Every structure is written in C-alpha cells, then in structure tokens.
Amino acid sequence: MLIREATLADWPAIWPFLREIVAAGETYTYPRDLPEEQARAMWLLEPPGRTVVAVDDGGAVLGTAKMNPNHMGGAAHIASASFMVDPGCSGRGVGRALGEHVLEWARAEGYRAMQFNAVVETNTRAVALWRSLGFEVLATLPEGFHHPTKGYVGLHIMYRRL
C-alpha cells in the first residue's frame, strides 16, 4: 500500500465510496445528500490543508484522508483530519496506515496537537483505531449526533498531543 498526494484525477475513484459513506449517515456530520461538487471542494484541500489517497500495488484507491488546521490564529497549531476508507477494502489496515501518515505529516508541519471534532460514538471501529494511535476522548457532546437507526448518540471530541 502506498500513500500519496491526491489529485483531481483521483476524484472519480474517491467519490463512489465517499458518497456511499456520507449517504449512510452513520459516521460523518455531512448532509447525507451532499452534492458531488460540494463534496469535492470539501475533500480535496489546498495548502495549508492536504489530501492523500492510499492505493494498492495496482494503483486502485483504497481510502483517502484530508488534513488541515483545526483552528486559525492563536490556535492554528492544532491540526485536524478526516478519513474515508472504501467499505470494500475494510480490514486491510488502510485506516491505520492513513492515520499514521497524517500524524507524521502533522508533526513534520510543526503542529502541536491533533483534534477530531466529531467522532460518532457508535463508530466503535474508528474510536478504537484512534485510541490505539494515542488519541483520547477529550469530551462527548451528549446526544450530539442523530444516527439514522440508533437515534441520538454521543459525538466525541478526540485529541492527542504530537
């Protein structure tokens, strides 16, 4: 697996699984009917943000991550990141590889911490993965997320120092 910069040419490979994940409405605080143009603008970031894809040996896109400052001004030393793994490629360590890559990037860029603003508490695989990469749940917004089948569930703010 290789992780490299995403380009506009990767978008047709990203959009099908990104759309599927967003439409499911279980893990992301995006509108479930997010239009493609808006999704592309939100996902493919310009500096100081950055977007990468994880690809297999044949060049197929397995997942993607975007990383960016979480705040501006006096809090611009805190980074954020978001991740999408093709559900057909789960269990292959793609999320973990992207997570490790993003942490390395943030350290190299001089960020002092990484903060995830909205991790749905029922997304237990993601919560466990971030914990294993050194993140803690700094707080949980009670009933912060309306899950399509589980109703109102907590929304974690996760954090780690770099």
Interface with its own copies by CB under 8 A: which residues?
Answer: 22, 25, 28-32, 71-78, 112-113, 115, 117-118, 120, 138-139, 141-148, 155, 157, 159, 161
Least distance to its own copies, CB of residue 72, Å: 5
Least distance to its own copies, CB of residue 25, Å: 6
Least distance to its own copies, CB of residue 38, Å: 10
In the bound state with its own copies, the residue whose beta carbon lies nearer, of 8 and 149, is 149
Any idea how long the chain is? 162
In the bound state with its own copies, the residue whose beta carbon lies nearer, of 79 and 97, is 79
Q: Give Cα separations from 67 to 54, 83, 88, 116, 139 (angstroms).
A: 14, 9, 23, 10, 21
Residue 162: CB partners within 8 Å, gap ≥ 6? 79, 103, 106, 107, 111, 112, 113, 114
Tokens found for residue 44:
């493919």
Residues 42, 58: Cα–Cα separation, whole Å: 27
In the bound state with its own copies, the residue whose beta carbon lies nearer, of 1 and 45, is 45
Least distance to its own copies, CB of residue 82, Å: 13
